[in-house]
Amino acid sequence: MDRREVVDTALGILGRVGLPDLTMRRLGTELGVQQSAIYHHFANKQELLGAVADEILARGPHTDTGDAAGWLDQVRAACHDVRAAVLAFSDGADVVSSMFAFGLGGREAYDRVDKALAGAGLAAETEDVAVRTLLHFVFGHAIAQQTAEQAARVGAIDASSDPDDFAAGLGLVLAGVAAAATA
């Protein structure tokens, strides 16, 4: 058993039953091992979730827009890719967002958007603000969607979400970034 196998199994549980059921006991059982054995590969659950967050992003789509595309289309594609990656697992947005905030994972999300945004020619500080602002929206929207889906399953809410809703919100933020780029 190595770190990769633990992360793979954790992702399987996350995709099937979600974060509340991703317990060290269940993880140990599916690995055919005592839960305490996991602590020989990860210091604690949070460090494990950091590795899970990294793997969620790595497994997501990596759209190549081509060199002909402008920075705006590249940033849009990067945001859609990050969104697709975290939506592929139950509570994936929550896990990646939390681990990124804690500095324990999800760095790839920042790097991908940052790289795409480099062509905009913004000042370094403004570029950093723009990347984090975009990520707040991408993660926030995905968390809200996955939470609403969960709430609907419990019966607390009606689900019904507009599939174009994300693109519309992203368009608003990107319009603001574009305004800063031309100024």
Partner DNA sequence: ACCTGAACACCGTTCAAGT
Q: Which residues bind its own copies (CB under 8 A)?
A: 97-98, 101-104, 125-126, 129-130, 132-133, 135-137, 139-141, 143-144, 147-148, 151, 156-157, 165, 168-169, 171-177, 179-180
Q: Which of 23, 58, 101, 102 binds DNA (CB under 7 A)?
A: 23
> Of these, 12, 30, 37, 126, which contacts DNA (CB under 7 A)?
37
Q: Is 46 an interacting residue with respect to DNA (CB under 7 A)?
A: yes
Q: Please choose which of DNA, its own copies, none residue 118 contacts, taking the beta carbon within 5 to 8 angstroms, the exact cut-off set by kind.
A: none
Give the residue with the Cβ less far from its own copies, 30 or 128.
128
The region of 10-18, 26-34, 65-73, 128-136 touching DNA under the rule CB under 7 A is 26-34
Q: Which residues contact 163 (CB under 8 A, 6 or more apart)?
A: none
Number of CB atoms found within 10 A of residue 163's CB: 6
By the rule CB under 7 A, 35 interacts with DNA? yes
Residue that is written with structure tokens 């509340």 in the block: 20
Give the number of residues in contact with DNA, rule: CB under 7 A.
Answer: 20
Chosen from DNA, its own copies, none, partner binding at 90 (C-beta under 5 to 8 Å by type)? none
Shortest Å, Cβ 27 to DNA: 8
User: Please, what is the minimum distance in Å from the beta carbon of residue 79 to its own copies?
Assistant: 12
DSSP string, 89-146: STTHHHHHHHHHHHTSS-HHHHHHHHHHHGGG---HHHHHHHHHHHHHHHHHHHHHHH
Q: Which residue pairs from 64-72 have beta carbons closer than 8 angstroms and sit at least 24 positions apart in sequence?
A: 70/119, 71/116, 71/117, 71/118, 71/119, 71/120, 71/181, 72/120, 72/174, 72/178
Residue 98 CB partners (closer than 8 Å, separation 6+): 49, 53
Interaction between residue 26 and DNA (CB under 7 A): yes
